[in-house]
Structure 1
């Protein structure tokens, strides 16, 4: 089979896999303290590999194939804290390609097991700041291709259409009481989802605003702040994020500040308390990044109510909580990290009933009517 023939076969195989897949659900979730404000969770945990990153991995593979970067027998290498690697391992196996994930040693054992289940191998490094360099080294020595999600996430996704997450959300919202959301809330790992959402709403002329939430140990919030105050001094890299899958020690090329309208910095204690609240309301466990998103929802809902606005808010259920059974769902993990669970649980419970959560916020249009 010629190289071009193999690429055509590979693209067709990925497209056939996509054609067999149903869309992910949009789940309504009631906020008792905010009558007239409707909240929805886009449940990305129902993808075949269990997370939002399934969309990204598919886009990255198609992008690499269309660019001629992958060929029959290529070793695929990615720098990932887990979920992207699980999804890329799935697509690599679909194409019969070897896959290596470079990830921090503290990545959950459940995610490592999921990568290995898909036929991938894991190369563990001491810190999140080392994974890119190690991935490039492996690609050079193995003659493979480094997918580089942090660079290519924002450009690999077809943000105009092709059933990206934004188009899917707006199609599913079409029969709801407020079909055009006031806010879509997302977190940033690469920044690719925020870029896709921001570009799509502008392309379609929607008034929806994009709120990007950032975990406690991450550089994206400060990077966004520096866009409005060039004199701001920021020290990178930050410590590694404790909320797996989101946050980065430095800004990444796929994070496009102009694509988002506001950002919130969420302490880890609140992210994980919100995770527990969402899990209790759904009757199943969700991951920590979903909790970070939900704190952003509560902030947006409070601002809408204060301005006398009704409407809808959409956020993302990024992955299931079964991948974090050893950490976020074990009391000793909180003791080891010195996290005050009781206070955080009370603050989130109060916020559900209408109280304001006091977190750092940058909203250039905060005063608009």
Structure 2
């Protein structure tokens, strides 16, 4: 299966991984970037350059993808759109700025993608990267452990209440949950308001991963690796002095994680309208146990643990909030990689990067 994909978010962890796999599998990819500098960084990245696929990708510079019609030209002639880009508030943001910095752009960018698909006359399917955050409340995410196991499925989407929060939003995580919830619910509503796939020439699939871990092929330093959710894994097994300001696990976290390879494969398989029906949403998760991270690190990297390069001192309770990927398993025919694969790839890349530094 091949065709032209319009891709957003290619400068990020998941988007870059999708770009590489799409090119390897014969797709042509039209990459949305905000500036020529972003295009140049991608063009000269070693992972992309080494593929020798320059004839299969091109760039569309869109400084403001929230502007009405800003994506129309980029979508013209594309058969598919994979929309990965979304604000990730890892850096501190003042509460009064959270709505405009996180929620609003997530919604506007997504609706502009759908509008561009409609106006293109060529797009047959849009795949949006949603998030498990659209299926869990901030209190479930940040609160105490549940007394009984809470199993989340695609039927448990949040109501679109976070999109209408007044300013200031109380915290970054509430803003993130709000942004993913709003973008997800507004995309479904937009499709309904425009008559759905019966009236449009394209349909919509939402793919909703939990925390995404794995090799970050664009990373050239430990800091690059720590800037993504991989930091949550590494925070349990590397010396604290190496972590800097990277995000860390709390004392207890929900059971939330999926390997980037599985996320990429599901996005690309979701393009196939003959196998994956439109209008569907798929949660992606492999039900991690956080304290398995030090265990697998000791098993896979015993020499580095003995030498003190890895400390394995982290402890984190796995709360009884789980995301069930049964629907995705059936639709994509996939068994999600486990924490052993995550540790092998993430910790392995960390060791590679510190050896170079």
Q: Normalization by structure 1: what TM-score?
A: 0.29
